[in-house]
Amino acid sequence: MLNNKIGIDLGTTNILVYLPNKGIVVQEPSVVAVESNGRKIMAIGKEAHNMLGRTPDSVTAVRPLLNGAIANFRVTEAMLKYYINQVVGRIRFTKPEVMISVPAGITSTEKRAVIDATINAGARNAYLIKEPIAAALGADIKISTPSGHMIIDIGGGTTEVAVISLSDIVTSSSARIAGNQIDQSIVSYIRKKNKLIIGKQTAEEIKIRIGSCLPLEKELSMEVSGSNSITGLPESQILKTNDIIDPIKSVLNDIISTIKNVLQKTPPELASDIMDKGIVITGGSAHLREIEKLLTKIIGVPCQIADNPETCVVKGTGIAIGHLSEYKRSLLWGK
């Protein structure tokens, strides 16, 4: 079967590619290594990610997307072309149709940039789908009914909060605050409290290995290496879960404000549906320990994490590209 339909989750942190007949075929970091003069692409994906913070002056490892939007058009286009060629082959008789997920609050300029980059990368047609819609589809939520469903998609660069009914968004909000901001918060907090300078990759590892939104019965610990902020010399320290709850919660408080804002704008009938069904959390940051318990406690609405939350958006793009006529109303049309 020809791979003439492709779904892509073009995330700030990771890019995932879905083929309707095969499932997820690519899941790699959204990182590209380029020569500092910007002329030559050196590496893409995992290989480029391994270069972050470790490159000489002649090479720069960059994330071409920032907070869910294209920050470097040429590099984004090169990354898309690389992965499209990888899944459909460089030699093909027809160009594929491509569905890309984008933040619900995307501007017209940002929308045009994504469409143009996708067409230039080799797509015959490019379609855009709002991330909350894609996440809900990927989480197997029946969004076509006249009933309210609330989705919280916490990715790397953006958090999308939306109430969906009849296959479209009733009310929503996009906050450019998510997993990457949690990493930065951990970096700043450890530097201030522990006098230890660490990089964002180390902060992400701390978040994944010992991070939690609430205190744990059995606290986790890990050894962390960096530079002493006073002496400048290498140093290692043992960090525990309770050491990093505060910087995690400081970012989540902003996300919680976004959630409350959407709930306050939700029509009463749909709010009643949400109380009955609960809120579904998707996105890679849904793996943060105890996040559903924290949100349930503060918001007062039952929250649950979707199965495989980090792949819900790309799975939803695959469903949408495979059933275009059914989800026309959910799409931001491309060309």
Q: What is the DSSP string of 103-164?
A: -TT--HHHHHHHHHHHHHTT-SEEEEEEHHHHHHHHTT--TTSSS-EEEEEE-SS-EEEEEE
**CATH number, domain at 53?**
3.30.420.40
* 86 and 52 within one domain: yes
* 216 and 78 within one domain: no
- Give pLDDT, residue 1: 43
* 100 and 185 within one domain: no
* 170 and 217 within one domain: no
**CATH number, domain at 204?**
3.90.640.10
* 121 and 9 within one domain: yes
pTM attached to this predicted model: 0.91
Q: Where a domain ends, among 219, 247, 275?
A: 247
- Give pLDDT, residue 156: 92
* 88 and 70 within one domain: yes
**Residue 277, annotated as binding a ligand:** no
**Residue 158, annotated as binding a ligand:** yes
- Give pLDDT, residue 3: 64
Q: Where a domain ends, among 228, 247, 266?
A: 247
* 64 and 30 within one domain: yes
Domain count, the chain: 3
In the predicted model, residues of the chain with pLDDT beneath 70 are 1-3, 38, 90-92, 329, 332-335
* 30 and 76 within one domain: yes
Question: Is the separation of the CB atoms in 83 and 15 below 8 Å?
Answer: yes
* 142 and 13 within one domain: no
d(CA 187, CA 250): 13
- Give pLDDT, residue 2: 53
Q: Could you tell me the end-to-end alpha-carbon distance of the chain, in angstroms, rounded to an integer?
A: 24
* 152 and 299 within one domain: yes
**Residue 28, annotated as binding a ligand:** no
- Give pLDDT, residue 58: 85
**Residue 205, annotated as binding a ligand:** yes
Question: Is the separation of the CB atoms in 149 and 141 below 8 Å?
Answer: yes
Taking Cα atoms as reference points, which of 19, 131, 128, 120 lies closest to residue 76?
Answer: 120
Structural domain boundaries, residue 324: 5-132+313-332
**Residue 218, annotated as binding a ligand:** no
Long-range contacts formed by 74-79: CB under 8 A, 24+ apart: 74/38, 75/32, 75/34, 75/41, 76/10, 76/117, 77/117, 77/120, 77/121, 78/32, 78/41, 78/44, 78/121, 79/15, 79/30, 79/32, 79/44
What would the two tokens of residue 113 be? Answer: 């940039």
* 86 and 15 within one domain: yes
Question: Is the separation of the CB atoms in 38 and 92 below 8 Å?
Answer: no
- Give pLDDT, residue 328: 74
Question: Is the separation of the CB atoms in 148 and 274 below 8 Å?
Answer: yes
* 278 and 172 within one domain: yes
- Give pLDDT, residue 332: 66
**Residue 207, annotated as binding a ligand:** yes
